[in-house]
Amino acid sequence: GAVVSQHPSRVICKSGTSVKIECRSLDFQATTMFWYRQFPKQSLMLMATSNEGSKATYEQGVEKDKFLINHASLTLSTLTVTSAHPEDSSFYICSALPPRGWHSGNTIYFGEGSWLTVV
């Protein structure tokens, strides 16, 4: 079964509205989660690193006021796309880093992704 769960898997929103995507670590406590964006036929682009209890670290070129990240607990990180525009339409994926020694040996687990369409 899924180790990292994302919700919703698909969402359509109107321009100017905000939409929240959740990333849950189901089997372990994740102090660090990552958020990626992926355009069709392209690789994943890291947007930000989310650390539990502290501010997220954003990659260069990613607007922190537009992509709000909250990592309030060890099993949940959220990405909120604020004032969404059609160009924000993309596939958003999260991943979670398990603690050292967790049985699967340092694998990073990805969520199933969330398709966002802004109309």
Contact 118, 10 (CB under 8 A): no
Cis amide linkage into residue 8, ω under 30° from 0: yes
Total of chain residues touching another protein, rule CB under 8 A: 24
Stretch that binds another protein, among 14-22, 43-51, 65-73, 75-83 (CB under 8 A): 43-51
Q: Which stretch binds another protein (CB under 8 A): 35-43, 63-71, 72-80, 81-89?
A: 35-43
Q: How far is the CB of 70 from another protein (least distance, A)?
A: 20
DSSP state of 94: E
Per CB under 8 A, 28 contacts another protein: no
| Residues 66-105 within binding reach of another protein (CB under 8 A) | 91, 93, 95, 97, 105
Closest CB to another protein among residues 37, 67: 37
Give the span between the Cα atoms of 90 and 71, in whole angstroms.
22
CA 7 to chain centre: 10
Query: 64 with 54: CB under 8 angstroms?
Result: no
- Measuring CA to CA, how many Å separate 119 from each of 8, 99, 114, 115? 17, 39, 16, 13
Closer of 46 and 62 to another protein (Cβ): 46
Q: Provide the binding-site residues for another protein, judged by CB under 8 A.
A: 4, 6, 32, 34, 41-46, 91, 93, 95, 97, 105-113, 115
